[in-house]
Every structure is written in structure tokens, then in C-alpha cells.
Chain A
Amino acid sequence: DIQLTQSPSFLSASVGDRVTITCRASQGISSYLAWYQQKPGKAPKLLIYAASTLQSGVPSRFSGSGSGTEFTLTISSLQPEDFATYYCQQLNSYLLTFGGGTKVEIK
């Protein structure tokens, strides 16, 4: 199975900060990577797919990059509603896997 390692697992940031989360795959997955945002008690919300394509309706402050084994999610200017947990997901295989998550909290 393809393993995804997300870092950091926790970060504390202020409104307006630029935030970057990294996701590393145990083997090459081309661009078959998605990013989700999850708030407590809610289902994951799709932010980005195909490594860098913004899902419709998602604010442009979110962006994704990378291919192969290393990927990043960047929030250019953190907003109060962005405090949540973020997960990467690989779809190179039908046996989907997720990163361990990054919890973004208010500093």
C-alpha cells in the first residue's frame, strides 16, 4: 500500500499568516493527490484534486503543488474559517490512503 506522510501534524498560526503543509508519498503517485479540510463533526470537504486543481467554490487563497512523491498545500492568508484539520489523499491506487492530518489552530 502507498503510505502518505503529512507534516507538520500540528501547527499554530495567526490570521493572515501564510501556511504550508507537506505530504510525502512512499512511492510515485503522479498527480493523483487530493487535499481535504475537515471541521469537527463534519465530513471532509474537498479543496484540491489532481495535486493543484482547485475545487469549484473553494477560495483562491488555497493552492496545491507537486507531483511524484512530494506535495504541498498552501493557504496564502489564513482566515478565521480556515482553522481546521487538513488531510491529503492519494488516488493512484484504488486502495486509497490518507495522510495522518494536520491540525491548524489559532496562535
Chain B
Amino acid sequence: EVQLVESGGGLVQPGGSLRLSCAASGFTFSSYEMNWVRQAPGKGLEWVSYISSSGSTIYYADSVKGRFTISRDNAKNSLYLQMNSLRAEDTAVYYCARYSMTTVVTDYWGQGTLVTVSS
């Protein structure tokens, strides 16, 4: 069974940093591209970042470029999001989502982890 479990969320002050993790199981993690998607309270879904299966290709939304860093450790079946210079508008539930090249869709999502940026 495919499982994605996010962790690392919490309350952080503006300007602070946080590192999110996504632990993957039930599939060959190293073969799949991954994404982070977030959802501010009461708002819609916003794509944050993409990383290729090898980690060699990375993309970011303009809203986080220069502040967030996506990475992965295929040996540990884990995806990460390092978030620096956090702002109030980064407050959201952050989801990791698996991207299937075969079906061209983000087919599995984690349950999400809440990041709250507030003083």
C-alpha cells in the first residue's frame, strides 16, 4: 500500500525556518517524481515545488523561490522541504504528493502537516 506521511510542521515566528519531511513507503520511491502542495486555511490548493526522481531537476512556485528548498534522500525514501524566511502567508497545510509519469497525475497524497507562521 502506498503511504506518504508528512511531519515537521508546527508554529514558527515570522522570519524563522522549518524543515518538513515526507516518509514514503509501499512503492519504489527512487522511481517517482514528487511534489509539495499547500493549502492555506479556508483557501484552495497551491503547488509549491517539484523534484525529479534523481533530484537533478527542481522547480518552485514564484511565491517560495529563493526561500524554500526541496530535496530528497532516495536511500531513506524521504522527501524534504526546507523553509526559510517564513512569512504569515506561508501558513498552510503542506502535502507531499507522488507524481506518476505513466498516468501524468499526482496520484497519492499524504495527510498533510500544518505550518503556522505567527508571532
Which residues from B are CB-within-8-Å of A53?
103
User: Closest CB of chain B to A33's CB: distance in Å?
Assistant: 9
Q: Mark A76-106, 1 if CB is under 8 A from B, else 0.
A: 0000000000010101001111111100000
| Chain B interface residues toward A at CB < 8 A | 35, 37, 44-47, 50, 57, 59, 61, 95, 103-107, 109-112
Cβ contact within 8 Å between B45 and A49:
no
Q: Is A74 part of the binding interface, using a Cβ–Cβ cutoff of 8 Å?
A: no
Main SS class of interface, B: strand
A side interface size, CB within 8 A: 23
Cβ contact within 8 Å between B47 and A34:
no
User: Closest CB of chain B to A107's CB: distance in Å?
Assistant: 22
Cβ contact within 8 Å between B50 and A94:
yes
Cβ contact within 8 Å between A98 and B44:
yes
| Chain A interface residues toward B at CB < 8 A | 32, 34, 36, 38, 42-44, 46, 49-50, 53, 55, 87, 89, 91, 94-101
Asked, given contacts A43-B112, A87-B45, A101-B44, whether A96 binds B35 with beta carbons under 8 Å apart, the answer is yes
Q: Which of A50, A55, A87 contacts B44 (CB 8 A)?
A: A87
Which residues from B are CB-within-8-Å of A87?
44-45
Q: Which of B57, B59, B106 contacts A89 (CB 8 A)?
A: B106
Which residues from A are CB-within-8-Å of B111?
42-43
